[in-house]
Structure 1
Amino acid sequence: MSDTGLQCVLVIDGSPDIHYIVGAQLKSERVSLLHAHGAEEGAALAAEHLPDLILLDLDMPDTDGMTLCAQLKADRTLADIPVIFLTGNMDVATKVKAFDMGAVDYVTKPFDAIELKARVRAALRTKRYHDLLTSKAQIDALTGLWNRGYLSDRLSSEVSVMAREASPVSVIMVDIDHFKSINDTHGHSFGDMVIQQVGESFVRSCRESDVVCRYGDDEFALILRNTSGASALALAERLCTDVAALEFSRGRQPVPVTASFGVATSDQFDDLAEVTAETLLGAADKALYSAKSQGRNRARGGQD
């Protein structure tokens, strides 16, 4: 999806004429177009913008379309983007190979405008349905936050961005302190309310670019793009204060609620090749354990 809210189509073709024709024929469609004139440029634009559909020339001079399609499908962040091949001639064997490679359709040059629009519409409609189903499957029912499955996929994507752009990524792991005691003493409905309000406090204090997830029963995880360890720790300390300031009561009895925070950042690794979703989560979890062992209701960084 583009910044305009329109579905995004990336055209990868070596011919400027094809780009002009596709642009003219899709002008009336509610889509945003990106243009690449070679495989390397196309792969870079796909990784940066995550388009909703790729129109891919089968016969490019540098890297052929089949090879590029295989590369795209091998990248987990790009694998679900549908690909329609553009070709001047496509025999049966090539069609079979294209579909086996993961293409959803093909259009033969010269294009018929009605056919091109119809095939693009069908692919984009299917992609929209797929995104809706995926999104629903990745939302936590209690809090409305992203769930653990989404966290894993998104963090892997952010690590790829970090490696490509040399920008830091940080993770905050959170546990509500003594949550089992809260549940046992005041009941699960009260515990659910605590989880919801703690999650809401995180969303209020985070940037739109930050990702807030419910990681487990009373656990949360936050992904902070382009954020240093020092900035992430400062945010964690602010969130810690926010949680402690939330007011809960059972009848006239106030119920204090606090949380512990562990922070990890890609900056703390000597070798960036060691930075993965798993190593970042592991480092944040280790810092969280340190916060708990030092008395809870505090934030600790991986380098503390």
Structure 2
Amino acid sequence: MTPRTSTGSWGRAWPPRGWLYLHAQDATEGLQATRDHLPDLILLDLDMPGTDGMTLCRQFKEDPDLVPIPVIFLTGTLDVATKVQAFDLGAIDYVTKPFDTIELKARVRAALRTKRYHDLLTTKARIDALTGLWNRGYLNDQLAMEISHLQRSDLALSLAMVDIDLFKPVNDTHGHPFGDRIIQGVAGALNRLSRDTDVVCRYGGEEFAIILRDTSSYGASVIAERMRAEIETLSFRLGRECIAVTVSIGVAGGDRFVETAELTGDALLQAADKALYEAKNQGRNRVVTG
């Protein structure tokens, strides 16, 4: 994102083939466009009408959704203090005006390449090795982002906690490799039965968590019941023996919180976990909404 410029070769040569370029006239438009499109890179001019580039960069870095997006400043000054301030705010590079288009392209390519490697490493670090699902760290980060979205919109949000019933006796009797097979099978079923918008994570051990976007607590309970019923039909063969499994599910929805300010990721987790505990208390293999 960058303001218009009169640099001669900017027009036809930009953006390079394969790049989608979004333009914003001022900070307000730029902030909204960034939130709407979540670009891979931001080109930010320090000199803009109204809010200056430094202030806008600070707003980017205060938004959990926008923090990972790299920022390259376009500046007409060579002042060291200005550059230091830009780096302190989270910029990864700067280009002085009037700039050379070839140099700008090279810096943009380098920034995008670095971001791609960073994204690959980040993704790998957030995937559970046994199941291929997202891990608990990703769940915590994603929940924080979803709560932030919720506070700015009228969308719903729910969370389901899923636990394999009586898993420890099966694990102790038949061994950990067989227990891992069960965890993988349940994980696969949850992933298969979830929607594209859902976020399925392994919470730890034999427990899973599912973020259900734009879903009320009632809608989440319907989805959870479908998952519970499907998993009840699974069986895992060990020699001549077939082992059946069931799950208990606790559901919590943001619509059940009286005050929006009380809705946090931890509060939603605690509510879902409490509902899960109640499902086990009531005899397991059931869904309880907290």
TM-score (norm 2): 0.95
Indicate conservation of the 8 Å contact 1:23/1:33, yes or no: no
- Most deviating of 21-30 and 144-153: 21-30
Partner of 2:119: 131
Confirm whether residue 275 of structure 1 aligns to residue 263 of structure 2.
yes
Tell me, which stretches of 5 or more residues in structure 2 are unaligned?
none
Confirm whether residue 300 of structure 1 aligns to residue 288 of structure 2.
yes
CA distance in 1, matches of 2:65, 2:214: 19
Indicate conservation of the 8 Å contact 2:162/2:249, yes or no: yes
The letter for the 2-side match of 1:91 is D
Alpha-carbon spacing, 1:252–1:19, altered in 2? closer, same or farther (3 Å): farther
The letter for the 1-side match of 2:274 is K
CA distance in 1, matches of 2:45, 2:224: 48
Confirm whether residue 259 of structure 1 aligns to residue 256 of structure 2.
no
Confirm whether residue 182 of structure 1 aligns to residue 203 of structure 2.
no
The letter for the 2-side match of 1:215 is Y
1:266-295 CA-partner distances (Å, limit 9, x unpaired): 111111122111111111111111111100
CA distance in 1, matches of 2:11, 2:213: 34
**Partner of 1:215: helix, strand, or coil?**
strand
Indicate conservation of the 8 Å contact 1:138/1:149, yes or no: yes
1:121-158 CA-partner distances (Å, limit 9, x unpaired): 01100000000000000000000000000011111111
- Most deviating of 109-118 and 191-200: 109-118
Partner of 1:44: 32
Indicate conservation of the 8 Å contact 2:150/2:156, yes or no: yes
Q: How many residues align?
A: 290
From 64, 74, 82, the equivalent of 1:94 is 82
Confirm whether residue 208 of structure 1 aligns to residue 196 of structure 2.
yes
1:222-243 CA-partner distances (Å, limit 9, x unpaired): 0111111111000100110111
Counting aligned pairs with the same residue, the percent is 59
- Most deviating of 253-262 and 141-150: 253-262
Confirm whether residue 237 of structure 1 aligns to residue 225 of structure 2.
yes
Partner of 1:143: 131
Offset of residue 93 of structure 1: 1.6
**Partner of 2:184: helix, strand, or coil?**
helix
CA distance in 2, matches of 1:286, 1:147: 21
- Most deviating of 175-184 and 57-66: 57-66
Taking only aligned residues, the RMSD between alpha carbons, in angstroms, comes to 1.7
Alpha-carbon spacing, 1:106–1:77, altered in 2? closer, same or farther (3 Å): same
CA distance in 2, matches of 1:23, 1:192: 57
CA distance in 1, matches of 2:8, 2:204: 50
Alpha-carbon spacing, 1:122–1:29, altered in 2? closer, same or farther (3 Å): farther
The letter for the 2-side match of 1:169 is L
Partner of 2:103: 115
Partner of 1:5: none
CA distance in 2, matches of 1:34, 1:80: 18
CA distance in 1, matches of 2:11, 2:266: 42
CA distance in 2, matches of 1:23, 1:143: 48
Partner of 2:238: 250
From 87, 91, 99, the equivalent of 1:103 is 91
TM-score (norm 1): 0.91
Tell me, which stretches of 5 or more residues in structure 1 are unaligned?
1-10
1:248-282 CA-partner distances (Å, limit 9, x unpaired): 13222221211100001111111112211111111
CA distance in 2, matches of 1:163, 1:247: 42
Confirm whether residue 72 of structure 1 aligns to residue 69 of structure 2.
no
1:96-136 CA-partner distances (Å, limit 9, x unpaired): 21112211111122231101100100110000000000000
The letter for the 1-side match of 2:71 is V
The letter for the 1-side match of 2:29 is E
Alpha-carbon spacing, 1:126–1:167, altered in 2? closer, same or farther (3 Å): same
Alpha-carbon spacing, 1:288–1:22, altered in 2? closer, same or farther (3 Å): farther
Alpha-carbon spacing, 1:146–1:21, altered in 2? closer, same or farther (3 Å): farther
Alpha-carbon spacing, 1:251–1:155, altered in 2? closer, same or farther (3 Å): same
Partner of 1:193: 181
CA distance in 2, matches of 1:75, 1:173: 27
